[in-house]
Amino acid sequence: MSERLIIIGAGQAAAQAVQSLRTEGFSGPITLIGDEAYAPYQRPPLSKAYLLGTFARERLFLKPDTFYRESDCSLILNTRVRAIHRAEKTVELPDGQRLPYDKLLLTTGTRVRELTCPGADLAGVHYLRSIADVDGLQAHFRPGARLAIVGGGYIGLEVAAVAAKRGLDVTVFEAMDRLMARAVSVPMSEFFAAEHEKAGVILKLRTGVEAIAGQGKVERVRAGGHNYAADIMLVGIGVLPNDELALQSGLFCEDGIVVNRSGMTEDPSIFAAGDCTRHIGREGNAIRLECVQNAIDQAKHCALAISGKPATYSEVPWFWSDQYDLKLQIAGLARSGDRIVLRGDPAARKFAVFHLRDGIVAAVEAVNAAPEYLAARKWIAAGARIAPEKLADLSVPLKQMT
Amino acid sequence: MAKVTFIAHDGKEHVVDIAEGWSLMEGAVKNGIPGIDADCGGACACATCHVYVDPAWTASLPPIADTEEAMLDFALVTAPNSRLSCQIRVTSDMDGLIVRLPASQH
């Protein structure tokens, strides 16, 4: 008898898994359960083109509806799984119904970290994670509206760029001393700070939000000891892994569902992929990544393992962000202590920052510099050693670096 | 709407209708054409939606931009008629367009 597979969580990793499972020859019935109203869709455009209004909703969907039918995959939407019963190998739905599985794949993703200061529950405080979130925000995006953004990370800054373009008055509050501190190097933070200021965005660094006040809705934000008037707020202060179902079923979790290099949890019938996992990175340490690349590549590895062909996951992580006409592309994971090498001139709005670790290319951050980004992806995967003087020298073509 | 033919590496043909304004890549992915991965969803960030445009059509497509050209440098087995399908916006003029897919995107 062919095996029954249930996938919990209907995002990027789930869609990839269904496709890859069928490519790898998995023949059992697949049931995909998601808690949103939609079949798997792309989240990256939500804070970019979809918010800007230049990207219609139907373009967000990763697969056509026919894909699921043709893949013998039943979709159960608007449904939050209540429990996983590992001993009897069933998944319990909110109505008490228990669906049996032979293999289970968890692609539950993340949820937003919520603001906890006084007034955080006032109307007008928005988050951005889902289609519904953006649709809720859209209605308030009027020229001249005062938008207070909490968090100068990817989400906050992508929204700031869209809002500035749409004529809102934007202020970004960031508790750290620089933008995107968790994701990029100091020169990159400084470059993006200057670009946002050029667009009229007001940046308040080292400024944590202390309270929000207003009559029934957001009117003022108190941050760094000052009051700022605001009509609307967007909070982008990170995400938390949805690992509770796994945890409650007794699976080992540690800020994410712990999986091995083929995507398997400690239960050989249960696998996990994407933002919700803590896995062993290329450098041998346990990491949790929040990116499309990891969702896709881990899903492919889970599909291989579920189909009886486990393979070792050791892909180079990659990320991107679009702000104004700037395309930021990142590959590899930088670390403090890396030697930083600049190639190109930030003033030309086309440059790359390489990170060398013991002389080996470990990461790259590229702005409007796709060749540098792609070349570095290959170098990182190969563990290439390149002299910093050579990397910095624009007269040395990328193809002659190694 | 434009009718576009995707020819897989093994010769299998898929004919699909793509709405104007969509990219060629989206049309392929939404219609489940195997062989176009488009990992980044059309952000011109991954070079996994590489196609070869039929020689009869290369001149009539919008010209290739710098970023696309640079990304193509890193696609596998490129040719003068290589394009990234996420960067080709479909218009009604493209009705009848034929593109071929490479053996692999990775």
Q: How far apart are the C-alpha atoms of A264 and A272, rounded to whole Å? A: 7
Q: How far apart are the C-alpha atoms of A92 and A66, rounded to whole Å? A: 27
- The secondary structure of chain B in percent helix, strand, coil, rounded to multiples of 5, reads 20, 25, 55
A327 contacts on B by Cβ (under 8 Å)? 43-45, 67
Q: Which amino acid is at A222?
A: R
Selecting from B31, B40, B74 the residue whose C-beta is nearest the C-beta of A320 gives B40
3 state SS of A379 = helix
Assembly ipTM: 0.80
Q: Is A79 exposed, middle or buried (0-12, 13-18, 19+ CB in 10 A)?
A: middle
More confident residue, A402 or B106: A402
- Cβ within 8 Å of residue A91, ≥6 positions away: A6, A8, A33, A81, A83, A84, A85, A98, A99, A101, A104
Give the pLDDT confidence score for residue B77 in this predicted structure.
84
Would an 8 Å CB–CB cutoff place B26 in contact with chain A? yes
Average pLDDT over residues A294-301: 96
Give the pLDDT confidence score for residue A192 in this predicted structure.
98
B44 contacts on A by Cβ (under 8 Å)? 327, 370
Average pLDDT over residues A82-104: 98
Nearest in space to A211 (alpha carbons), one of A148, A273, A262: A148
Q: Is B23 exposed, middle or buried (0-12, 13-18, 19+ CB in 10 A)?
A: buried
Read off the tokens for A238. Answer: 């990170």
Question: Do B76 and B102 touch, CB atoms closer than 8 A?
Answer: yes
Average pLDDT over residues A64-91: 96
Q: Of the spans A45-59, A200-214, B19-33, B69-83, which averages the highest pLDDT?
A: A200-214
Nearest CA distance, A201 vs chain B (angstrom): 24
Selecting from B32, B43, B70 the residue whose C-beta is nearest the C-beta of A67 gives B32
Give the pLDDT confidence score for residue B45 in this predicted structure.
67
Q: How crowded is the C-beta side of A232, counted as CA atoms within 13 Å?
A: 21
Q: Which amino acid is at A40?
A: P
Average pLDDT over residues A62-66: 88
A64 contacts on B by Cβ (under 8 Å)? 30-32
Mean pLDDT of chain B: 88
Query: What's the pLDDT band for A340 if we cut at 50, 70, 90?
Result: very high
Question: Do A39 and A75 touch, CB atoms closer than 8 A?
Answer: yes
More confident residue, B26 or A82: A82
B29 contacts on A by Cβ (under 8 Å)? 62-63
More confident residue, B105 or B5: B5
Read off the tokens for A173. Answer: 């509050």
Over 80: is that where the pLDDT of A21 sits? Answer: yes
Mutate to test the interface with A, among B14, B26, B30, B33 (most CBs of A within 10 A): B30
What are the start-end ranges of the E strands in A128-263? Answer: 146-150, 169-173, 202-204, 209-213, 220-223, 226-229, 232-235, 239-241, 257-258
pLDDT for A236-255, tens place per residue?
Answer: 999 999 999 999 999 999 99
Alpha helix locations (H) across A251-398?
A: 292-306, 370-382, 388-392
Average pLDDT over residues A24-31: 96
pLDDT for A263-279, tens place per residue?
Answer: 999 999 999 999 999 99
Over 70: is that where the pLDDT of A116 sits? Answer: yes
Q: How far apart are the C-alpha atoms of B34 and A17, rounded to whole Å? A: 15
Query: What's the pLDDT band for A1 if we cut at 50, 70, 90?
Result: low
Average pLDDT over residues A189-209: 98
Selecting from A59, A292, A375 the residue whose C-beta is nearest the C-beta of B40 gives A292
Selecting from A44, A329, A368 the residue whose C-beta is nearest the C-beta of B41 gives A44
Read off the tokens for A274. Answer: 């994407």
Average pLDDT over residues A35-57: 94
Over 90: is that where the pLDDT of B29 sits? Answer: no
- In this complex, do A320 and B45 lie within 8 Å of one another by their Cβ atoms? yes
Read off the tokens for A83. Answer: 């429990």
- In this complex, do A371 and B32 lie within 8 Å of one another by their Cβ atoms? no
Mean pLDDT of chain A: 96
- In this complex, do B67 and A368 lie within 8 Å of one another by their Cβ atoms? yes
Q: Is A153 exposed, middle or buried (0-12, 13-18, 19+ CB in 10 A)?
A: buried
Query: What's the pLDDT band for A102 if we cut at 50, 70, 90?
Result: very high
Over 90: is that where the pLDDT of A370 sits? Answer: no
> From A70, which residue of chain B is nearest by alpha-carbon distance?
B32
- In this complex, do B43 and A378 lie within 8 Å of one another by their Cβ atoms? no
Query: What's the pLDDT band for B13 if we cut at 50, 70, 90?
Result: very high
Average pLDDT over residues A139-146: 95
pLDDT for A308-333, tens place per residue?
Answer: 999 999 999 999 999 999 999 999 99
- pTM for the complete prediction? 0.93
Would an 8 Å CB–CB cutoff place B17 in contact with chain A? no
Q: What angle do CA A105, A21, A132 make, to 5 degrees?
A: 55
3 state SS of B101 = coil
- In this complex, do B40 and A70 lie within 8 Å of one another by their Cβ atoms? no
pLDDT for A217-230, tens place per residue?
Answer: 999 999 999 999 99
Over 80: is that where the pLDDT of B106 sits? Answer: no
Q: Report the DSSP beta bridge partners of residue A169.
A: A146
- In this complex, do A292 and B41 lie within 8 Å of one another by their Cβ atoms? yes
